[in-house]
């Protein structure tokens, strides 16, 4: 096993907007955002293929088709909003609006999938599912809008690593 190159300083807020590069060489662990456009395009293609297959298999059930289409459109909107959020400068006032949009989209997906799963479960399990969904939504709101300054300050501060020789 060879040594993998490691970055000296990693950033949680590094934009992932580099274009696909068809160099034919595998991506390296030292630059995880290098091929993000290719990865995003691949993810959208896989998502579209799975959505088409789900629609094909449930064509006679209009509610299932509507669910798949709605989930697909919300996921595409979420991918777009996340890409937009990554490209906006840190001090931009638009960033808060895009972040709110991301939270609304993730909340909609959480509610949709929780409803779909809880409908198939007995009541005690459905209560657990809805409790987990509500907790996730509330925690997401708290992390995005209430404690975001504390988290950003902690993420930007370099951590001390003691030498354990």
Q: What is the pLDDT of residues 26-46, one digit of tens each?
A: 444 444 455 577 888 898 999
Distance CA 27, CA 70 (A): 33
Q: List, in order, residues 6 or more apart from 101 with CB less than 8 Å away.
A: 81
Three-state secondary structure along the chain? CCCCCCCCCCCCCCCCCCCCCCCCCCCCCCCCCCCHHHHHHHHHHHHHHHHHHHHHHCCCCHHHHHHHHHHHHHHHHHHHHHHHHHHCCCCCCHHHHHHHHHHHHHHHHHHHHHHHHHCCCCHHHHHHHHHHHHHHHHHHHHHHHHCHHHHHHHHHCCCCCCCCC
What confidence score (pLDDT) does residue 8 get?
A: 46
Encode burial over 68-78: b for 16+ CB neighbours within 10 A, e otherwise. beebbebbeeb
CB 101 within 8 A of CB 81: yes
CB 27 within 8 A of CB 35: yes
Q: Is the pLDDT of residue 55 over 50?
A: yes
pLDDT in tens, 100-120: 999 999 999 999 999 999 999
- Range name among 64-68, 88-92, 95-99, 155-159 with the lowest pLDDT average: 155-159
Among 83, 68, 78, smallest CA distance to 16 is for: 83
Residue-range domain boundaries for the chain: 34-76, 88-154
Q: Is the pLDDT of residue 135 over 50?
A: yes
Averaged pLDDT, 133-139? 97
pLDDT in tens, 78-101: 999 999 998 999 888 899 899 999
């Amino acid at each position: 096993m060879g040594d993998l190159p490691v970055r000296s300083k990693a950033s949680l807020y590094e934009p992932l907007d580099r274009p696909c590069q068809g160099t034919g060489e595998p991506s390296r662990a030292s630059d995880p955002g290098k091929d993000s456009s290719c990865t995003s395009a691949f993810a959208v293609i896989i998502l579209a293929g799975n959505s088409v297959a789900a629609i094909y298999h449930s064509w006679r059930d209009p509610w299932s088709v509507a669910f798949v289409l709605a989930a697909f459109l919300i996921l595409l909107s979420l991918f777009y909003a996340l890409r937009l959020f990554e490209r906006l400068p840190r001090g931009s006032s638009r960033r808060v609006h895009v972040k709110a949009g991301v939270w609304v989209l993730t909340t909609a997906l959480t509610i949709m999938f929780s409803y779909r799963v809880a409908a198939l479960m007995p009541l005690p399990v459905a209560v657990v599912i809805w409790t987990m969904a509500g907790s996730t939504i509330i925690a997401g709101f708290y992390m995005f809008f209430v404690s975001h300054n504390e988290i950003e300050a902690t993420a930007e501060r370099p951590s001390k690593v003691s030498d354990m020789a």
